[in-house]
């Protein structure tokens, strides 16, 4: 081998060693960078006279492990956001130990009713109204929190869509740079690191599938097969409402997430976006449905029982909860006993009114006005029945009365304990919150004709309050709602099941989030074991590269000395 060949080989080796040292130093500097993959220099010898003609940088990678990381990122993204929201929901449920959960408050209401049935006093009536108020407020507050969480999820869906679109733009830019640099023979290893990190970020936001083309471009598709990234970006589109009501659902009042005009909402099942959609449209809707069913059944059962009786002593007037007009059609069967009583509950006047005789509300009012000492009228859309004397009261009792399948007082809501139709608007009747003495506790006798002076509503009577208490423990039908199945159950049992099932949903969500996070962390660790920088190994290789450099530098120096010697000999 000639000295020129030796010098050329040593020079090429020096250049390669310098390159290897530079790459190794970069590896060491990025040892703590989780998105950085270890780089190695691959050299290629092409002639006998030149030891090295080219060198390329290769990044440590594993396609299977990378896809596993992305897949587990999608599951982790979904389950983590679901768990976060369910923890907020848990804080609103109250606790059995604290006695402020719905089941405990319903039991407290029954306890207050039992106390009122045992001793009908101003204090026990106030206690019953207070317990009912706490129960209704808790149900309405929990409903409000559910809708608040749905609204937050809805707004976060819009934010997540924006982040996804931004990530797609980043991937598009990286794709273009990688394709261009690859074509020109440049080093794309760092760009590929950035792209892999962006794909993982995108996967944590929504479930996607990817593949790499022959020109090193990554293509991205949704789980349902819609292309998001190719030569161009197909961005997601979503317009969020600032707040949601309980009746706002998807599809319907809530818009869908679209790609190229196609609604893909139903296919969004993984990633953070999938978790938010599931919370907004499924998990929290199910909790609201179950709560609504509890509230509506509570309202109906308690009010039906309450309207079978009267306060003791009877109040001076009764005002309907329903809105009516004089021209409204009225269709009923049976009779209702109407009694005007004194402050002791004794009859001042009474009459059994045949309800089938009337065709309109005006007809009914005329019939009620025929009772001595009684006036009936419509005020602000409400039917009011009042004793003419401020010292007297009014009591009602059904005698096989049926108005649309309900008793007379129940149909109009004259003695309602609760107002509202669902968990959204349940409340204690304003007449009771302003005057607890109006709480219906007793019942009026309908087994025989009542004479003037005879007690119609006994002081200390408990027929109505006992019926209300019984309504809480009597089995009734519930349809399937949320995670609760259809079947027969009492209100007390259903409330306990609601709290228990909600607690299970929250617990399962936390467990699933832990499992998904652990799976993702394990996948990241497996990939990291292959791709991250091992400082001990890298420092050892750096020392080898430096030795190679020094050896070739020394060889170059020797060759130079030989050249000098030869030149001196020639001269």
DSSP state for residue 484 in the 8-state scheme: B
Q: Would you call 246 exposed, middle or buried from its count of C-beta atoms within 10 A (0-12, 13-18, 19+)?
A: buried
pLDDT of residue 381: 96
Asked whether the beta carbons of 263 and 206 are under 8 A apart, the reply is no
Q: Distance between CA 208 and CA 204 in Å, rounded?
A: 9
Q: Name the token pair of 426.
A: 């349940």
Q: Which residues contact 146 (CB under 8 A, 6 or more apart)?
A: 89, 92, 246, 284, 287, 288, 291
DSSP result, 401-462: EEBTTB-HHHHHTTT-SEESSSTTT-EE-HHHHH-GGGS--B----SSPPPTTSBSS-TT--
Q: What is the pLDDT along the chain (571 residues), one digit of tens a residue?
A: 566 666 666 666 666 666 666 666 666 776 677 667 766 677 665 555 444 456 676 666 678 898 999 999 999 999 999 999 999 999 999 888 888 999 999 999 999 999 999 999 999 999 999 999 999 999 999 999 999 999 999 999 999 999 999 999 999 999 999 999 988 888 888 899 899 999 999 999 999 999 999 999 999 999 989 999 999 999 999 998 878 889 899 988 899 999 999 999 999 999 999 999 999 999 999 999 999 999 999 999 999 999 999 999 999 999 999 999 999 999 999 999 999 999 999 999 999 999 999 999 999 999 999 999 999 999 999 999 999 999 999 999 999 999 999 999 999 999 999 999 999 999 999 999 999 999 999 999 898 899 999 999 988 889 999 999 999 999 999 999 999 999 999 999 999 999 999 999 999 999 999 999 999 999 988 887 776 656 566 666 666 666 666 676 676 777 677 766 767 777 6
Beta strand 374-379 pairing with 262-263? unpaired
Q: Helix 284-306 crosses helix 63-93 at what angle (to 10 degrees)?
A: 20
pLDDT at 55 (0 to 100): 62
Tokens 């993984």 belong to: 270
Tell me the CA end-to-end span of the chain in Å, nearest whole number: 24
Give the tokens for residue 3. Answer: 């000295």
> Is residue 320 within 8 Å of residue 384, measured between CB atoms?
yes
Would you tell me how many other CB atoms lie within 10 Å of the CB of residue 483? 18
> In the chain, how long is the greatest CA-to-CA distance?
153
Structural Rg of the chain based on CA atoms: 40
Contact 220, 202 (CB under 8 A): yes
* pLDDT for the residue numbered 361: 97
CA atoms within 13 Å, Cβ hemisphere of 90:
15
Q: What is the pTM of this model?
A: 0.85
According to the model, what pLDDT value does residue 52 have? 47
- pLDDT of amino acid 122: 94
How far is CA 429 from each of CA 43, 325, 411, rounded to the nearest angstrom?
86, 21, 15
Rounded-to-integer distance, Cα 392 and Cα 385, Å: 12
b (16+ CB within 10 A) / e for 538-557: beebbeebeebbeebeebbe
Q: Are 228 and 220 in contact (CB under 8 A)?
A: yes
């Amino acid at each position: 081998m000639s000295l020129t060949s030796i010098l050329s080989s040593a020079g090429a080796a020096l250049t390669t060693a310098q390159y290897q040292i530079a790459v190794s130093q970069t590896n060491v500097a990025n040892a703590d960078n989780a998105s950085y993959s270890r780089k190695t220099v691959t050299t290629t010898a092409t002639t006998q006279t030149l030891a090295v003609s080219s060198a390329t940088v290769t990044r440590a990678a594993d396609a299977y492990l990378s896809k596993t990381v992305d897949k587990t990122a999608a599951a982790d993204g979904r389950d983590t956001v679901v768990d976060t929201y369910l923890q907020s929901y848990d804080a609103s449920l109250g606790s059995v130990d604290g006695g402020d959960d719905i089941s405990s408050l319903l039991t407290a209401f029954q306890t207050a009713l039992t106390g009122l049935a045992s001793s009908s006093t101003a204090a026990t009536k106030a206690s019953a109204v207070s317990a009912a108020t706490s129960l209704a407020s808790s149900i309405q507050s929990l409903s409000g929190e559910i809708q608040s969480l749905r609204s937050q999820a809805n707004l976060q869906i819009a934010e997540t869509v924006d982040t996804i679109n931004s990530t797609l733009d980043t991937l598009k830019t990286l794709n273009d740079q990688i394709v261009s640099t690859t074509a020109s023979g440049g080093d794309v290893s760092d760009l590929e690191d950035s792209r892999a990190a962006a794909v993982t970020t995108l996967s944590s936001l929504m479930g996607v599938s990817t593949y790499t083309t022959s020109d090193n471009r990554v293509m991205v598709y949704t789980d349902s097969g819609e292309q998001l990234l190719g030569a161009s970006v197909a961005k997601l589109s979503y317009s969020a409402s600032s707040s949601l009501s309980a009746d706002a659902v998807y599809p319907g009042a809530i818009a869908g997430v679209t790609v190229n005009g196609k609604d893909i909402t139903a296919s969004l099942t993984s990633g953070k976006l999938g978790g938010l959609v599931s919370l907004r449209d499924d998990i929290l809707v199910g909790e609201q449905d179950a709560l609504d069913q509890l509230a509506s059944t509570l309202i109906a059962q308690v009010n039906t029982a309450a309207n079978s009786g009267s306060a003791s002593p009877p109040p001076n007037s009764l005002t309907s909860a329903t809105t009516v007009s004089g021209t409204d059609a009225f269709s009923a069967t049976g009779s209702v006993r109407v009694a005007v009583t004194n402050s002791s509950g004794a009859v001042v006047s009474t009459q059994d009114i045949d309800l089938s005789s009337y065709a309109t509300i005006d007809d009914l009012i005329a019939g009620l006005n025929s009772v001595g000492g009684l006036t009936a009228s419509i005020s602000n859309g409400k039917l009011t029945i009042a004793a003419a004397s401020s010292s007297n009261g009014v009591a009602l009792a059904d005698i096989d009365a049926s108005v649309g399948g309900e008793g007379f007082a129940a149909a109009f809501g004259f003695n309602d304990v609760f107002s509202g139709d669902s968990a959204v608007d349940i409340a204690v009747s304003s007449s009771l919150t302003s005057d607890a003495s109006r709480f219906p506790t007793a019942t009026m006798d309908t087994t025989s004709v009542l004479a003037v002076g005879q007690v119609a509503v006994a002081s200390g009577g408990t027929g109505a309050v006992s019926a209300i208490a019984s309504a809480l423990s009597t089995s009734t039908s519930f349809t399937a709602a949320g995670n609760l199945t259809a079947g027969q159950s009492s209100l007390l049992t259903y409330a306990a099941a609601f709290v228990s099932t909600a607690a299970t949903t929250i617990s399962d969500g936390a467990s699933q989030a832990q499992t998904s996070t652990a799976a993702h962390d394990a996948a990241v660790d497996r990939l990291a074991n292959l791709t991250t920088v091992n400082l001990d190994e890298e420092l050892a290789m750096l020392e080898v590269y430096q030795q190679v450099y020094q050896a070739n530098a020394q060889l170059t120096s020797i060759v130079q000395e030989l050249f000098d010697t030869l030149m001196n000999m020639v001269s």
